[in-house]
Structure 1
Amino acid sequence: MEGLPRNGTPLECSPLGGGQARAIAEAFRPVQAWGNRRDYYYTRGKLGSDPLYDGVLQHLPEDGLPLLDLGCGLGLFAHVLRQRGHRQPYLGVDVDAGKIARAQRAAAGLDEVRFECLDVQAPLPAQAGHVLLLDVLQYLDMQPQLDLLRAASARVAAGGRLLLRTPLATGDRRDRTTRVADRLAWLVGWMGTRPRHYPAPAQLTATLAEAGLQVDTLRPLHGRTPFNSWLLVARRSPV
């Protein structure tokens, strides 16, 4: 596939340990013993199987710049951030009002962590710093993807980074598996919209470069999962 390194070297990263995952999942345990535990078990499973958080944190400087998490879902990255000792202000936004409400409840004990219900296709919060865009792009059509990349790039401060994980249109087994899983997540109601467009790597890198960011080589970030997940790190030069 054009724009991809041949046999791209996966990042050396791992999921959270069982104790770490359980500690975060406790924040999502329902107050009533008979309450719905879907978020609790999802959090344990997600944190304990996906190397996303370790992989992204390896590229997130501890420089005090605020962090904007676009399409944050339940806000798990905020919990991992604080568990690992990162103290920068965090703002997570997502279009799913139900997830945002549950994220706010679970993060009640975390300092300088905020959540807002916002469609990432609307004007983004006026916050400059580092930006996360994790497993979001495939739920937008191509032109809205490009618009979001430009808008997200504009929120990257001098010396800041845009950390992007996304599946890519590679046409291999991982690609096909990811498309099926994303569609199932929509059909069962976990995601509020169906997958729409899987980006081509060359278009991603060109769009970010045009927005003034220095783009690193794409690296696989799927760990032992069967999905077609790739990490892209884009940086804005310091003043």
Structure 2
Amino acid sequence: MSTATASPATPASIARAFLPDRWHYHYARSKLASDPLYGGVLEALDGAAMPVLDLGCGIGLLAHYARAHGRPLDYVGVDNDAGKIAQAVAAAERTGLAAARFEVVDLARTFPEAHRGSVVVLDVLQFLPHEAQGRLLAHCAAGLAPGGRLVLRTGLRDGSWRAGMTRAADMASHLIRWMRSAPGELPRREELAARLEALGLRARFAPLWGRTPFNNWLVVAERA
């Protein structure tokens, strides 16, 4: 059995890291209860025990989920939203998450260059313009250590009703200011696979939408 599913940790127990902020507590609890994202990420990282760079980390929920499930990460999270990073730092300090570090970084303009390990990009790629997506993937590939993995979760543009729901939700998240960046472009599976192959990475795709209506896919890429 995967270590990502073996722990008795609950959405509520993990979300308590964000109290006394009730909004982020309820966001985290709802996210963990409805979306299999973080369990899927931990499974994708099985066997790759190395530093993890989380690009677009939000409030740092992945780091809390990993520790609660017995998989503490040597973790750096970056996001372009200074408010979310402040929440991430405060939650890490309250709960003694000493191995997690957080920085404000705008991935549309720059990239944390010093990292060597695995790279995680969750629900972020579709908020970048087409060319910026390519630059980000190239930086991610350059940051992979031998044996490291690039773990993406992204919506895909395939003409399905789920893709339409994903696009509408991305636009709504920007309008309510949860996402600072406006939606860019949902990538097509074939083009994303080709871009990763051109960077020397072999990718596998699996649906990861859980109890949501969105066209979310987990993409795990490694050196070919």
Deviations along 1:72-117, one digit per CA (max 9) or x if unpaired, are 0011000011111123310000010000000000011113111011
2: distance between equivalents of 1:206 and 1:62?
A: 25
Q: Secondary structure at the match of 1:115?
A: strand
Aligned residue pairs: how many? 219
1:85 paired with 2:73, answer no
8 A contact 2:63–2:73 mirrored in 1: no
Q: Secondary structure at the match of 1:81?
A: helix
1:208 paired with 2:193, answer no
Per mean C-alpha deviation after superposition, the further-off stretch among 78-87 and 101-110 is 78-87
Q: Secondary structure at the match of 1:185?
A: helix
1: distance between equivalents of 2:90 and 2:71?
A: 20
8 A contact 1:157–1:236 mirrored in 2: no
8 A contact 1:100–1:115 mirrored in 2: yes
Bigger Rg, which one: 1
User: After the TM superposition, which residues 173-212 of structure 1 pair with which residues of structure 2 at under 5 Å, given as runs?
Assistant: 173-212=161-200
* Counterpart in the other structure of 1:233: 220
Letter of the structure 1 residue corresponding to residue 111 of structure 2: P
8 A contact 1:15–1:52 mirrored in 2: no
1:219 paired with 2:209, answer no
1:24 pairs with one of 9, 14, 34: 14
2: distance between equivalents of 1:16 and 1:166?
A: 26
2: distance between equivalents of 1:231 and 1:64?
A: 19
8 A contact 1:15–1:53 mirrored in 2: no
Letter of the structure 2 residue corresponding to residue 115 of structure 1: F
Change (3 A) 1:16 1:193: farther
Considering fraction of residues, name the structure with more helix: 2
Letter of the structure 1 residue corresponding to residue 212 of structure 2: T
Change (3 A) 1:95 1:131: same
Question: Which consecutive residues of structure 1, in runs of 5 or more, have no partner in the other structure?
Answer: 1-11, 31-35
8 A contact 1:133–1:164 mirrored in 2: yes
1:113 pairs with one of 69, 86, 100: 100
Change (3 A) 1:162 1:104: same
User: After the TM superposition, which residues 145-160 of structure 1 pair with which residues of structure 2 at under 5 Å, given as runs?
Assistant: 145-160=133-148
TM-fit CA distance, 1:63: 4.1
1:67 pairs with one of 49, 52, 59: 52
8 A contact 2:6–2:69 mirrored in 1: no
8 A contact 1:17–1:48 mirrored in 2: no
* Counterpart in the other structure of 1:8: none
What is the TM-score with the length of structure 1 in the denominator? Answer: 0.86
2: distance between equivalents of 1:74 and 1:88?
A: 15
8 A contact 2:9–2:69 mirrored in 1: no
Q: Secondary structure at the match of 1:58?
A: helix
Q: Secondary structure at the match of 1:196?
A: coil
2: distance between equivalents of 1:140 and 1:37?
A: 30
* Counterpart in the other structure of 1:4: none
2: distance between equivalents of 1:194 and 1:234?
A: 26
